[in-house]
C-alpha cells in the first residue's frame, strides 16, 4: 500500500539550512530531506506517554528508510537579514546573519507530500506513525510551524530519486541496510563535529530533480491553529519562581513591542480591557521541576494566535529585567495545547487532572468586607467565585473540595511563603497584598493552564497538577 506524509506550513514559511551548508550560504533544505523528517518524527516518539516499544519504533523507521517520493507545491524563496552583536562588547560591532526560507501557501489545498508508494505497515506501526505526525509541530527551525497528517491513498505526480526534470538537489537519507536505525536518528551533531565526520553513520545522498520556484508572491495566512507557545528561558542568574510576575511582564512587553495592537496579546480592544472570558493571552512562566527557578514560559490564548502574533513572539530573543541579567528566550513548541499535555501546569496527560495546587500565590481582585457576622467575600469565597465564572463558561467542572495550602513546598525541601513572592505588577497592585495558596479538587479531570485572581494573565494565581 502507499503511505504518505502530508505536510502543511500554516505560517507560510519553511526555515531549514541544508546539511553541510553554513546558514549565510542561504541554501534551504527543500524539500525536507528524508533524514530530517525521520529525525523529527523520532524526536516526537521520545515525548509519547507511554513511550512506544523500542522494537516497534525500530521496525517502523527501518521501513521508512526506503527512498520516498515527493510532490512539491508551488513555492517561492526569500530571506531576511539580521545584524546581531558579535560579542565583542562594542556597541556598533555587528555580524550579518541571513535567514533564508521557502515561502508556500499555508492554506493551499495541495500540501507537500512525502510518499512511500510500496510500504506495508502493520496496524500498530501505522497507528504509531499517525500519532507521531499529530505531535509534529515544527520542521527545521522552531519557527517553521508544521501540521502533518498520514494518508494511505497514493497521490499522483510524486517523483522519486533520479526522476523528473529540474535542478538536481541532494537530500540526505538513511541507508536501508543500516545496522541500528534508531542510533542514526539519535546522532548528536555536536559529537559528529568532535569526530570530524561529515555525515551521520549509515546515511547517503539521494538526488532529486526539483522544479524552479514560481514568480508570483504567496500571501501569508492570517490565521493558524495554534493556541500555545512554549519558550525556554536562559540567563546567567536564572530567574526565581518568586519573580514570576516580573518575568511575565517583561516577556509581554518584549512581545508587544513587536506586535502592535493585537487584541489577543494586549487583552484590549479600543484601549479598553477585554471582558470576554479570559480567552486572550496568558504569559505564564513556570518552574518545571520544582527547584525554585523559572526555565520555561507558556504563552497561551484559548482563542488562538494569528500569524502576526506568532511572528511577534518568535521575534523575541532577549528580555530585559530591571537590575538583573538579560534573559534569553528560545522557541520550543508552537501548536495546539494538547501537544503540551505533560507539562505540570497543563495536565497529567490528555485527560488533565482532578487535583490542582497553587504554584504561585492567589491574590484577591476585590477587598473583603468585614461584617458583624464575619468576613464577607473572603479569600476562599473569591476563589470559588472565580471558579464559578470559569464553570459558567464551560472551562472547568464543579468543585468537590478546596483546601488551604500555607506555603509552596519545593523538591529541595525548601519552603517558600506566599509573602516572599512578588505580588503585584509594575504599575498595578492587588486589592490585598497578602497571597494565599489552595489545593482544588474537581469532580472531573481538568486540563490547564489554570490561573485565577489578580494577575492571572501574568503568572499569578497559577496552579499545577498536585504531586508534580
pLDDT digits (tens, 9 = 90+) for 413-453: 789 999 999 888 777 777 788 899 999 999 999 988 999 99
Query: Residues 55, 191: one domain?
Result: yes
Question: Is the confidence at residue 248, as pLDDT, over 90?
Answer: yes
- From 179, 210, 241, give the residue that closes a domain: 210
Question: What is the CB neighbour count within 10 angstroms for residue 429?
Answer: 13
The backbone torsions φ and ψ at residue 62, rounded to the nearest 5 degrees and listed phi first, read -65, -40
C-alpha cell at 70: 515527493
Query: Residues 314, 435: one domain?
Result: yes
Query: Residues 321, 273: one domain?
Result: yes
- Number of domains the chain contains: 2
Query: Residues 194, 281: one domain?
Result: no
Rounded to an integer, the average pLDDT of 226-238 is 90
- From 183, 210, 237, give the residue that closes a domain: 210
Question: What is the CB neighbour count within 10 angstroms for residue 78?
Answer: 15
Query: Residues 204, 261: one domain?
Result: no
pLDDT recorded at residue 306: 86
Rounded to an integer, the average pLDDT of 6-20 is 89
Rounded to an integer, the average pLDDT of 44-65 is 89
Query: Residues 176, 303: one domain?
Result: no
pLDDT recorded at residue 451: 93
SS3 content of the chain, % helix, strand, coil (to 5): 25, 30, 45
Contacts of 468 (CB under 8 A, 6+ apart): 344, 348
Rounded to an integer, the average pLDDT of 171-187 is 90
Residue numbers of the domain that contains 183: 3-210
Cα separation, 118 vs 465, in Å, equals 45
Nearest to 425 by CA among 243, 236, 180, 275: 243
C-alpha pair distances (Å), 28 with each of 9, 42, 82, 218, 336: 15, 22, 17, 18, 27
Within a domain: residue 361?
yes
Cα separation, 101 vs 76, in Å, equals 9
Cα separation, 421 vs 361, in Å, equals 7
Within a domain: residue 218?
no
Within a domain: residue 170?
yes
- From 210, 239, 258, give the residue that closes a domain: 210
Peptide bond into 400 cis (omega under 30): no
Cα separation, 111 vs 96, in Å, equals 33
Helix or strand run (H / E) with residue 329: strand 327-335
Query: Residues 138, 245: one domain?
Result: no
Query: Residues 64, 178: one domain?
Result: yes
Query: Residues 238, 200: one domain?
Result: no
Question: Is the confidence at residue 339, as pLDDT, over 60?
Answer: yes
Question: Is the confidence at residue 222, as pLDDT, over 60?
Answer: no
Within a domain: residue 216?
no
Cα separation, 397 vs 4, in Å, equals 40
Cα separation, 254 vs 316, in Å, equals 6
Instruction: Label residue 67 by pLDDT band (50, 70, 90).
Output: very high
pLDDT recorded at residue 93: 72
Convert the pLDDT of each residue in 253-280 to its tens digit: 999 988 878 888 988 887 777 777 788 8
Q: Please, what is the average pLDDT of the chain?
A: 87
Query: Residues 30, 115: one domain?
Result: yes
Within a domain: residue 281?
yes
pLDDT recorded at residue 262: 86
Contact 61, 185 (CB under 8 A): yes
Query: Residues 55, 10: one domain?
Result: yes
Query: Residues 205, 291: one domain?
Result: no
Nearest to 343 by CA among 327, 330, 328, 359: 359
pLDDT recorded at residue 385: 92
Cα separation, 240 vs 421, in Å, equals 9
Amino acid at each position: 500500500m502507499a503511505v504518505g506524509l502530508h505536510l502543511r506550513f500554516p505560517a507560510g514559511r519553511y526555515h531549514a539550512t541544508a546539511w553541510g551548508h553554513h546558514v549565510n550560504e542561504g541554501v534551504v533544505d527543500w524539500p525536507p530531506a528524508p533524514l530530517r523528517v525521520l529525525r523529527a518524527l523520532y524526536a516526537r516518539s521520545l515525548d509519547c506517554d507511554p513511550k512506544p516499544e523500542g522494537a516497534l519504533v525500530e521496525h517502523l523507521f527501518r521501513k521508512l528508510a526506503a527512498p520516498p517520493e515527493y510532490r512539491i507545491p508551488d513555492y517561492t524563496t526569500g530571506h531576511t537579514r539580521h545584524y546581531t552583536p558579535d560579542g565583542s562588547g562594542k556597541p556598533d560591532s555587528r555580524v550579518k546573519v541571513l535567514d533564508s526560507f521557502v515561502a508556500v501557501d499555508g492554506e493551499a489545498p495541495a500540501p507537500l507530500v512525502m510518499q512511500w508508494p510500496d510500504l506495508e505497515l502493520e496496524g500498530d506501526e501505522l497507528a504509531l506513525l499517525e500519532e507521531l505526525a499529530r505531535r509534529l509541530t515544527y520542521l527545521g527551525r522552531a519557527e517553521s510551524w508544521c501540521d502533518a497528517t498520514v494518508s494511505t491513498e497514493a497521490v499522483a505526480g510524486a517523483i522519486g530519486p533520479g526522476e523528473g526534470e529540474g535542478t538536481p538537489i541532494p537530500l540526505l537519507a538513511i541507508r536501508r541496510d543500516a545496522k541500528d536505525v534508531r542510533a542514526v536518528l539519535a546522532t548528536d551533531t555536536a559529537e559528529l563535529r568532535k569526530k570530524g565526520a561529515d555525515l551521520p553513520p549509515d546515511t547517503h545522498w539521494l538526488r532529486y530533480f526539483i522544479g524552479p520556484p514560481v514568480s508570483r508572491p504567496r500571501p501569508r495566512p492570517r490565521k493558524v491553529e495554534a493556541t500555545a507557545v512554549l519558550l525556554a528561558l536562559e540567563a546567567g542568574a536564572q530567574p526565581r519562581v518568586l519573580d514570576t510576575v516580573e518575568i511575565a511582564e517583561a516577556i509581554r512587553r518584549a512581545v508587544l513591542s513587536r506586535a502592535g495592537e493585537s487584541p489577543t496579546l494586549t487583552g484590549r480592544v479600543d484601549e479598553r480591557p477585554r471582558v470576554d472570558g479570559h480567552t486572550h493571552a496568558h504569559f505564564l512562566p513556570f518552574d518545571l521541576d520544582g527547584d525554585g527557578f523559572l526555565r520555561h514560559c507558556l504563552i497561551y490564548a484559548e482563542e488562538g494566535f494569528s500569524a502576526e502574533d506568532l511572528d511577534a513572539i518568535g521575534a523575541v530573543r532577549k528580555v530585559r529585567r530591571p537590575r538583573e541579567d538579560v534573559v534569553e528566550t528560545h522557541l520550543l513548541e508552537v501548536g495546539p495545547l494538547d501537544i503540551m499535555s505533560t507539562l505540570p501546569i497543563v495536565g497529567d496527560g490528555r485527560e488533565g487532572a482532578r487535583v490542582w495546587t497553587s504554584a504561585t500565590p492567589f491574590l484577591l481582585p476585590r477587598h473583603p468586607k468585614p461584617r458583624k457576622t464575619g468576613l464577607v467575600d473572603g479569600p476562599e469565597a473569591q476563589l470559588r467565585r472565580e471558579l464559578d465564572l470559569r464553570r459558567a463558561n464551560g472551562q472547568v467542572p464543579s468543585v468537590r473540595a478546596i483546601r488551604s495550602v500555607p506555603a509552596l513546598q519545593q523538591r529541595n525541601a525548601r519552603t517558600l511563603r506566599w509573602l516572599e513572592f512578588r505580588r503585584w505588577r509594575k504599575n498595578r497592585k492587588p486589592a490585598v497584598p497578602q497571597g494565599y495558596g489552595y489545593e482544588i479538587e474537581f469532580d472531573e479531570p481538568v486540563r490547564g493552564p489554570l490561573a485565577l485572581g489578580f494577575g492571572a494573565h501574568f503568572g499569578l494565581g497559577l496552579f499545577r497538577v498536585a504531586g508534580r
